Amino acid sequence: MNNAVAGFSKLSKKEKINWIANEYFSTPEEALNIIRNYWNTDEKLQQLHDEFIENTITNLYIPLGVAPNFMINGKYKTIPMAIEESSVVAAASKSAKYWATRGGFKATVIDTEKIGQVHFTFNGDAEKLNAFFNKIKPKFFSDTQNITKNMQQRGGGILDIYLKDKRDLLDNYFQLHATFETKDSMGANFINSCLEQFATTLKDEAQNANLEIEVIMSILSNYVPNCIVRAEVSCPIEDLTEKHIPNPRDFAERFVQAVQIAEVEPFRAVTHNKGIMNGVDAVVLATGNDFRAVEAGVHAYASKNGQYASLSHAKIENGIFTFWLEIPLALGTVGGLTSLHPLVKLCLEILQKPSAKELMEIVAVAGLAQNFAALRSLTTTGIQEGHMKMHLNNIINQFEANEEERHLIKTHFKKTAISHNAVVEFIENLRK
């Protein structure tokens, strides 16, 4: 058992699944049933999903929910969110409803510049390299004309190319640092194709000029500090009043202090920003974008000043409470899964077919809404009260409660503090 397998990728889907079931399970048929139960009954649709990745055996479902009542720049939006964590969609919806009567969310795209680099080494006179670069720079643009033609027609393309001397970091290390505008596409394939042509041009021209240049690699960067969107909410302090906020000034001051703690304390900042990313990732995933790239870029941005810190900020000024964030988001609404995955297309329809800039605004707002909900709970009732109410269903399902048990459990915990142990104990006593 647990042996290596040769030629796995060449096996049929059925053969792969049978090998998995027989190799790792004492009851192979049970494993096979679970795998098959998550196949789509529409064979054509299942084949589409099978071909998204390699060695596909089945589908892992993540719930897709919606958070309505988001007023963004004066227009109502219903935001689709794909996530497995309890209370995220509920919290976003609650924040949306709260701010809809207080002016709504304002969002602005500050810039949309994306970055790619050709990393290379050169052991020689840096001034000579700089003169060589300036001489051949126009050729980088002309040699990629066949790649950039369609993007240029949409208003995008290569913005600029710089030579960067990085020898203070590594011996003989230089970069071609290129900036791009990719309009409504995320642009990864476009950028990487341009970069690989830059590398070819660099090598060919260096050979003609008798310069010893060795290209190490060519790749886009997921750190996009100049592809920034800002989302914010604000209102007079007295308008913050609601059921759990009887003293709005006290709430506002505690809220600002909570944000300030995340600005200076990395241990708090990580959890604080994780809450923001609950909202961000859920929308990024629902719209077929790369949430791993977004996560990496956002967390790098949170560390841009030398210490990991809060992505959001808050202030009280002239009686006005303001809460905002600025984050880098490289997103697309055309290409990739956006044109292939039926549910991704549905989610973009729900969002009224946004441009990439509009999607940046929506995603940033979802992150800010999530952060506001968490901080409001933390500075008032505490985070566990609402979270455990949402988590109760998971515990009930874990113990496979029947309808009668489910009713009795939910009735009991309407007036009793919820904890995992308390629910388990109640179920065990119920079944005795």
Domain residue ranges of the chain, discontinuous segments joined by +: 8-50, 65-109+229-381, 114-221, 386-431
As a CATH number, domain 114-221 is: 3.30.70.420
Residue 385: the pLDDT is 58
Contact 276, 294 (CB under 8 A): no
Cα distances (Å, whole numbers) of residue 168 to 163, 218, 262: 15, 20, 33
Residue 134 CB-half CA count within 13 A: 6
DSSP 3-state of 58:
coil
Same fold, 65-109+229-381 and 114-221: no
Residues marked active site are found at 85, 274, 290, 387
Q: What does 330-348 look like in DSSP terms, one character per residue?
A: ---SBSGGGGT-HHHHHHH
Residue 362: the pLDDT is 98
User: How many whole angstroms separate alpha carbon 328 and alpha carbon 221?
Assistant: 12
Q: Could you read off the pLDDT tens digit of each residue along the chain, which spans 432 residues?
A: 567 899 999 999 999 999 999 999 999 999 999 999 999 999 999 999 999 999 999 999 999 999 999 999 999 999 999 999 989 999 999 999 999 999 999 999 999 999 999 999 999 999 999 999 999 999 999 999 999 999 999 999 999 999 999 999 999 999 999 999 999 999 999 999 999 999 999 999 999 999 999 999 999 999 999 999 999 999 999 999 998 899 999 999 999 999 999 999 999 999 999 999 999 999 999 999 999 999 999 999 999 999 999 999 999 999 999 999 999 999 999 988 888 999 999 999 999 999 999 999 999 999 999 999 999 999 987 655 555 666 677 788 888 888 888 878 888 877 777 777 888 888 888 888
Cα distances (Å, whole numbers) of residue 227 to 256, 275, 327: 27, 21, 8
Q: Which residues pair with 320 in a beta bridge?
A: 236, 317
As a CATH number, domain 65-109+229-381 is: 3.90.770.10
**Token digits for 245?**
């906020």
Sign of the Cα torsion 53, 56, 58, 62 reads negative
User: How many whole angstroms separate alpha carbon 198 and alpha carbon 142?
Assistant: 10
Contact 78, 105 (CB under 8 A): no
Residue 295: the pLDDT is 98
Query: The whole model's pTM is what?
Result: 0.88
Name the helix (H) or strand (E) containing 400.
none
Contact 25, 2 (CB under 8 A): no
What is the length of the chain? 432
Query: 217: alpha, beta or left, given left = phi > 0 and alpha = psi -120 to 50?
Result: beta
